[in-house]
Structure 1
Amino acid sequence: MRKTGLLLLLFPLLASCGVVHSVTGEKRYTIASPAMEPTLPLDSKITATVVKPGSYQPVDGDIVVFKAPAEWDPDKTGTARIYRVVAIGGETIACCDAGRIQRNGKPIDEPYLKVPGVNEPFPGVTLPAGSLFVLGDNRAHSADSTVHGPVLADTVIGVVKTD
């Protein structure tokens, strides 16, 4: 009974320090860029389910937190990046069909975009196994895979909860 009482007293303190999120496999982030608006507004707080390095199983549409590769992080800030997965290894991604992204030759539905149908054309690329093509929902303000190229799925450190 004493241990339970002690835990009940410590839980709020641990939660306020962010320790509970570590214990529960979640991590909090503050959105520092408009790249994922309107889904994740600038300065909003989000929770991501932590994934062990190399254990992420890619799913189109996931919003992922990943450790930026060197070419994405020239200033070597080590800042995690948060973008939406639009294609995974083995898929071909291209733009555009009337401003819409094409995956495997078919336009994809993207109801989450800040401005639907506004994409800068980019050449088609077939992703190697273990790679992800990630884009921001606010395409006009997003330095994503259209600029830097694909990222490795092994760099994913979290999956954002949007519910």
Structure 2
Amino acid sequence: MKKGLSLKKIWQENKSFFIFLGLMLFVRAGVADWYYIPSGSMEPTIEVGDRIFVNKLAYDVKVPFTDISLTETGSPARGDIIVFDSKAANNRLIKRVVGLPGDRIAMRNNVLYLNNQPLHYSGDDEDQQEQLGEVLHQIHIDKTGSPLSSFDTVTVPEHHVLVLGDNRNNSADSRVHGFIPMDEIIGKASHIAYSLDNDNAYMPRIARTFQALE
């Protein structure tokens, strides 16, 4: 009896906190969340130490704490940056959508071909801008080269997307793990929530706070 009274007292004294905690868990599970970026595969767009805000309602509504989709709210577009749980990689990854179902994609010496047409590039040898449909974004190409810099034409199957990292020669993406099933996508990365400089005593990078991702 005393134990029951003790638990009731704890609930009464901390009810607001528990409700707030429950709402936070619900929101993070089904609406929006943020993720730490541990690698440089999306540099220069996303840097190591960035915490990324992810919209989990961008493409569908899921039952909180599950992968069960209730209804679709949209579909990935070329240029979207997505977070997904990759079964092939056994890891949670963040990459850029390059190919949609039915697209024919190839890469020759780091030049992407979309449906037999090369994308437009500008900039110097390593830091370039890539025009992917309506999305103009930065990519980095290591001068040392990589076996990943070219691949033959592939066709993206239904209910899948093809993704690449913006750090083109240093990214384990669809060139390594294959096409990404739509049901593995968690949401769309839209902003940098905040950023800490790992090489400078984890000092905040103020200029990157809530910066929109392109």
TM-score, reference length from structure 2: 0.60
CA distance in 1, matches of 2:28, 2:190: 15
Q: Which residue of 1 aligns with 2:104?
A: 92
Structure whose CA Rg is larger: 2
Shift of 1:155: 0.8
Counterpart among 152, 157, 162 of residue 186 in structure 2? 157
- Taking a change above 3 Å as real, the CA distance of residues 121 and 24 of structure 1, as seen in their structure-2 partners, is closer
Q: After TM superposition, list the pairs within 5 Å mapping 1:128-139 onto structure 2.
A: 128-139=157-168
Residues 163, 179 of structure 2: 8 Å contact kept: yes
One-letter amino acid of the counterpart of residue 31, structure 1: I
CA distance in 2, matches of 1:29, 1:106: 35
Shift of 1:161: 0.5
Residues 104, 155 of structure 2: 8 Å contact kept: yes
Name the Cα RMSD after superposition: 2.8
Between the two proteins, the alignment pairs up a number of residues equal to 146
Q: Equivalent pairs: percent with the same residue?
A: 32
Q: After TM superposition, list the pairs within 5 Å mapping 1:1-163 onto structure 2.
A: 19=25, 21-22=27-28, 25-51=31-57, 52=62, 53=67, 55=72, 57-69=75-87, 71-73=88-90, 79-96=91-108, 99-109=110-120, 110=130, 111-115=137-141, 120-162=149-191, 163=212
**Where does structure 1 lack aligned partners over 5 or more consecutive residues?**
1-8, 74-78
Greater per-residue strand proportion: 2
**Where does structure 2 lack aligned partners over 5 or more consecutive residues?**
1-15, 121-129, 131-136, 192-211
Structure with higher RCO (Cα < 8 A, 6+ apart): 1
TM-score, reference length from structure 1: 0.77
One-letter amino acid of the counterpart of residue 179, structure 2: P
